[in-house]
């Protein structure tokens, strides 16, 4: 056989094999089910019954982006300029009110206290001498043995030393108070969010060192548009959705800021939630605000079959069953689901035929 003919035969054989593979992948060699309707001959799945589709009035809610925060939160800072010697807590630690959190260097403040006390002791000794001198001058002036100017001078010296003693005592008290500031204690029962300083750093007045929050005071904060925010009332029950945990929590409105943001025309709404160990400040949430009622098509979830990303139900039409593709919406409880499109009120759903 000529080489050229062999090449042509090989090419034709390759094309034939390719066509056979395409036909096999397309299902040409398998039995097919004709599209359309099927007779109602199958038996229902256990626990399911025919269902008449109808629109149901459901309380409508609007989802508003929110953030979990804490009503009781604080930032710890120093009131004196000093070097940090110890930091006793780290992020995530639980603390109680009055617990020691940080210690600052106190040697300079103790030296200032010692100097103030020594100065007060010295002034007090001089004041004792000035008091005796004043008493002698008063006695001599009564007997006419000294001039009035000498008495005035003794009294002025006594009064000046009294003022100096009071100043030294105030300085000592200030030093004692400053020393008490070197021990920084927790103002609340709570949890440490973050730690911003380490031993050896210099703590400046007002500079944050730690941040704390009380886990028992969690709440959600959301900026709600005018039309939804104005009907809300203090104490009103609402719901909060936590997308990361796929759950919905009960909440109660505890604060309505009585001024709108001029830029977004929204009001800040704060709702209290119960303590949850796995909820942390800063987490994303959705505040579900009541927004009247809406008419929805809701069907039993047991009547829906899924094929990949497609959802199918079987609709009874006369004596036959029609397969219908639908688009689902929200889960409306443990065994109900919303149908966004594909069904109309009055249609009858039946279980999937066997």
Return the pLDDT at 2: 65
Judge whether residue 75 has pLDDT over 80. yes
d(CA 258, CA 208): 30
d(CA 242, CA 68): 10
d(CA 30, CA 24): 8
| Nearest alpha-carbon partner for 312 in 280, 279, 345, 350 | 350
Q: In Å, how far are 102, 113, 197, 346, 351 from 204, measured between CA atoms?
A: 14, 21, 11, 74, 73
Judge whether residue 48 has pLDDT over 60. no
Tokens (6 digits) for 22 = 């395409």
Tokens (6 digits) for 308 = 């990949």
Return the pLDDT at 40: 46
pLDDT band at residue 186 under the 50/70/90 scheme: very high
Q: Are 321 and 33 in contact (CB under 8 A)?
A: no
| Nearest alpha-carbon partner for 96 in 220, 274, 215 | 215
- List, for residues 117-140, the tens digit of each pLDDT value: 898 888 888 888 888 888 888 888
pTM for the model stands at 0.58
Where does residue 216 fall: left (phi above 0), alpha (psi -120 to 50 degrees), or beta otherwise? alpha
% pLDDT > 90, the chain: 38
CB atoms within 10 A of CB 83: 14
3-state secondary structure of 324: strand
| Nearest alpha-carbon partner for 229 in 264, 203, 201, 205 | 264
Q: Are 304 and 318 in contact (CB under 8 A)?
A: no
Indicate the helix (H) or strand (E) that contains 130: helix 107-142
d(CA 84, CA 167): 30
* Strand partners of residue 70: 218
- List, for residues 140-162, the tens digit of each pLDDT value: 878 777 788 887 888 898 889 88
d(CA 296, CA 213): 42
Q: What is the average pLDDT across 181-209?
A: 92
Return the pLDDT at 247: 87
Q: How many residues does the chain have?
A: 354
Q: Are 72 and 188 in contact (CB under 8 A)?
A: yes
Judge whether residue 184 has pLDDT over 80. yes
pLDDT band at residue 78 under the 50/70/90 scheme: very high
Q: Are 261 and 223 in contact (CB under 8 A)?
A: yes
Return the pLDDT at 267: 94
Q: Are 298 and 339 in contact (CB under 8 A)?
A: yes
7 vs 260, more confident: 260
> Could you give the count of Cα atoms lying within 13 Å of 133 in the half-sphere of its Cβ?
17
| Nearest alpha-carbon partner for 246 in 284, 216, 217 | 284
Q: What is the average pLDDT across 154-175?
A: 88
> Could you give the count of Cα atoms lying within 13 Å of 17 in the half-sphere of its Cβ?
6
pLDDT band at residue 29 under the 50/70/90 scheme: low
């Amino acid at each position: 056989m000529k080489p050229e003919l062999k090449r042509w035969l090989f090419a034709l054989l390759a094309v034939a094999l390719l066509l056979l593979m395409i036909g096999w992948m397309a299902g040409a060699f398998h039995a097919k089910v004709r599209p359309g309707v099927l007779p109602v001959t199958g038996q229902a799945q256990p626990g399911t019954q025919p269902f008449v589709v109808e629109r149901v009035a459901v309380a409508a809610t609007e989802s508003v982006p929110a953030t979990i925060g804490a009503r009781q939160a604080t930032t710890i800072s120093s009131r004196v300029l000093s070097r940090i010697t110890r930091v006793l807590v780290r992020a995530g630690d639980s603390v109680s009110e009055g617990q020691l959190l940080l210690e600052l260097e106190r040697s300079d403040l103790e030296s200032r206290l010692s100097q103030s006390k020594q100065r007060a002791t010295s002034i007090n000794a001089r004041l004792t001498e000035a008091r005796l001198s004043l008493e002698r001058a008063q006695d001599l002036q009564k007997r006419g043995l000294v001039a009035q100017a000498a008495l005035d001078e003794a009294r002025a010296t006594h009064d000046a030393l009294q003022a100096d003693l009071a100043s030294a005592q105030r300085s000592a008290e200030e030093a004692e108070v400053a020393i008490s500031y070197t021990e920084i204690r927790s103002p609340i029962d709570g949890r440490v969010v973050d730690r911003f300083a380490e031993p050896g750093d210099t703590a400046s007045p007002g500079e944050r060192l730690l941040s704390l929050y009380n886990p028992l005071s969690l709440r959600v904060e959301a900026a709600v548009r005018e039309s939804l925010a104005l009907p809300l009332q203090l104490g009103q029950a609402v719901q909060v959705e936590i997308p990361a945990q796929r759950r919905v929590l009960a909440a109660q409105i505890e604060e309505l800021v009585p001024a709108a943001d001029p830029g977004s025309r929204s009001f800040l709404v704060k709702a209290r939630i119960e303590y949850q160990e796995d909820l942390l400040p800063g987490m994303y949430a959705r505040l579900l605000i009541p927004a009247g009622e809406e008419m929805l098509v809701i069907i039993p979830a047991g009547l829906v079959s899924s094929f990949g990303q497609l959802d199918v139900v079987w609709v009874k039409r006369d004596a036959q069953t029609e397969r219908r593709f639908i688009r689902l919406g929200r889960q409306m409880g443990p065994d109900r689901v919303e149908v966004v499109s594909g069904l109309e009120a009055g249609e009858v759903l039946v279980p999937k035929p066997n």
